[in-house]
Amino acid sequence: MENTTETTNQIKVKWRCPSNIAVVKYWGKKPIQIPCNSSISLTLNNSYTEVKAQLHEKTTLEPVELNYYFEGELNEKFGKRVADYLADNIEHFPFLRIAAVTIHSTNSFPHSAGIASSASAFGAIALAMLDIAYQLAEKELDDNFYNEASRLARLGSGSACRSVYPSFAVWGENDKIEGSSDDYAIEITNIHPIFKNMRDAILIIEDEPKKVSSTIGHSLMNDHPFADQRFDQANERTAKMVKILEEGDIDSFIQICESDALTLHAMMMTSSDYYLLVKPGTITAIEKIMQWRLEHMVPVCFTLDAGPNVHVLYPDKYRETVEDFINTELKDTYKKVIFDHEGEGPQKLNID
Ligand code: DP6
């Protein structure tokens, strides 16, 4: 394809990128979007963002001309964050020097559902914009494409870099994990059958926007009294988790996963500007999950994001019994539940 303004203006692409849930958390970062510790997450399936990106003629002299629509409406706030991201990384998207872009973004899950929307959104944006760059350079979407997309997604939102891979992904340099990097995530492929198609039921305890953003939360790790211990612990746990996933050691999985969720919130509670994101319903749900596990000897555990909602993780083979427990005994703790599971990663979609 000849790379003229005319052909550039005809390009449109559509990508779906899932969200992910970390089992060892990224919390604390350095410029530019470099994590203070390695982390590992499970890519989801039903919770995703779809992004349609279309190039057209520029009408202003702005370095990046972007119209950003979320759920059909112009969204200036997130649009500004995306425009800044594209401008900061324009060397990867050189076509934006001669063309404007309109992005339509939709989520499969409700806003403020405690699902990391910046992870799926920046995953999808990075994939779509890089796909355009590849088309203009007449390059194939090979493995290197996903590696580059992961790096670019990270520059938008750290956790997004893990969403461009299926199953489990590690982000952050870790001397015990071959190929790991601070710049992009890598897929963990050696997974024991017990962890295949892992389930995640997301209990929406509160659906109001978070009172402290993750950006502020990360920055509070800069002078946190326990920062160094936490970063060492997370690196150790991430390396252990890779072995656990390989060996099928579900008890150790549960222990690390739950402890890491509580450690994340302990960091918030012990920072100089301390704060609390868990709600009474969060604690009730956690206690019920731990008690039910003991009574029924079923490997189910919880994790938390930077918010009050509880992610219930369990192997596919225990799906029926755990979902029955969620629908009955846990019912009073949540407003809504979203049943999700391990996904196969992002998908390029046909343009409608
Ligand atoms: C608690 O990726 O949202 O979900 O890089 O500033 O966009 P930014 O932060 P973000 O932080 C996610 C933190 C977390 C843990 C995790 O996903 O590892």
pLDDT, average across residues 256-266: 98
Q: What pLDDT is stored for residue 110 in this prediction?
A: 79
Q: What is the mean pLDDT of the chain?
A: 95
- Residue 117: pLDDT band (50, 70, 90) is confident
Position 177, amino acid: I
Q: Is residue 211 within 8 Å of residue 275, measured between CB atoms?
A: yes
- State how far the Cα of 99 lies from the Cα of 68, in Å rounded to an integer: 15
Band the pLDDT of 1: cuts 50, 70, 90. very low
Q: What is the pLDDT of residue 212?
A: 86
What mean pLDDT is predicted for residues 244-249? 98
| AA identity, residue 238 | T
Q: Is 214 in the pocket of ligand 1 (CB under 6 A)?
A: yes
Question: Residue 52: CB within 6 Å of ligand 1?
Answer: no
> How far apart (Å, rounded) are the C-alpha atoms in residues 268 and 25?
13
> Coil, strand, or helix at residue 16?
strand
What's the mean pLDDT in 316-335? 98
Q: Tell me: the pLDDT tens digits for 21-30?
A: 999 999 999 9
211 C-alpha to ligand 1 centroid (Å): 15
Q: Tokens representing 214?
A: 């993750």
Picking from 71-80, 286-295, 319-328, which range would have the lowest pLDDT averaged per residue? 71-80
Do 16 and 50 form a contact (C-beta atoms < 8 A)?
yes
Residue 117 Cβ inside 6 Å of ligand 1? The answer reads no
The pair of three-digit structure tokens given for residue 101, joined into one six-digit string: 């872009």
Q: What would the mean pLDDT of 212-224 be, rounded to a whole number?
A: 94
Exposure b/e, 85-117, CB count within 10 A at least 16 = b: bbeebeebbebbeebbbebbbebbbeeebbbbb
Q: What is the mean pLDDT of residues 58-71?
A: 94
CB of 157 closer than 6 angstroms to any ligand 1 atom = yes
Which residues in 124-147 are b (16+ Cβ under 10 Å) and which e? bbbbbbbbbbbbbeeeeeeeebbb
What band does 8 get if pLDDT is binned at 50, 70 and 90? confident
191-209 tens-digit pLDDT: 999 999 999 999 999 988 7
pTM of the model: 0.96
Q: For 167-181, write each residue's pLDDT tens digit.
A: 999 999 999 999 999
Least confident of 103-112, 128-137, 319-328: 103-112
Phi-psi region of 138 (alpha: psi -120 to 50; beta: other; left: phi over 0): left
The burial class, CB within 10 Å (0-12 / 13-18 / 19+), for 230 is: buried
Single out the residue of 309, 253, 305 nearest to residue 285, CA to CA: 309
pLDDT at 88 over 70: yes
**Mean pLDDT value across residues 74-93:** 96
pLDDT at residue 257 above 50? yes
Other C-beta atoms closer than 10 Å to the C-beta of 328 total: 9
Q: Residue 185: in which H helix or E strand, if any?
A: strand 185-188
Cβ neighbors of 57 (< 8 A, separation 6 or more) are 5, 9, 99, 100
Ranking 96-100, 218-222, 315-319, 348-352 by mean pLDDT, the lowest is 348-352
d(CA 201, CA 320): 12
| pLDDT band of 5, cuts 50, 70, 90 | low
Question: Which atom of ligand 1 is the closest one to the Cα of 39?
Answer: 18
How many angstroms separate the alpha carbon of residue 340 from the centre of ligand 1?
A: 19
With a 6 A CB cut-off, is 162 part of the ligand 1 pocket?
Answer: no
CA 154 to ligand 1: nearest atom: 5
Is there an atom of ligand 1 within 6 Å of 164 CB?
no
Q: Predicted confidence band at 2 (pLDDT cuts at 50, 70, 90)? A: very low
pLDDT of residue 209: 75
99 alpha carbon – ligand 1 mean position (Å): 31
Give CA torsion, residues 264, 188, 199, 162, to 10 deg. Answer: 50
Confidence band (pLDDT; 50, 70, 90) for 319? very high
Q: What are phi and psi of 169, to 5 degrees?
A: -135, 145
Mean pLDDT score, 115-138 = 94
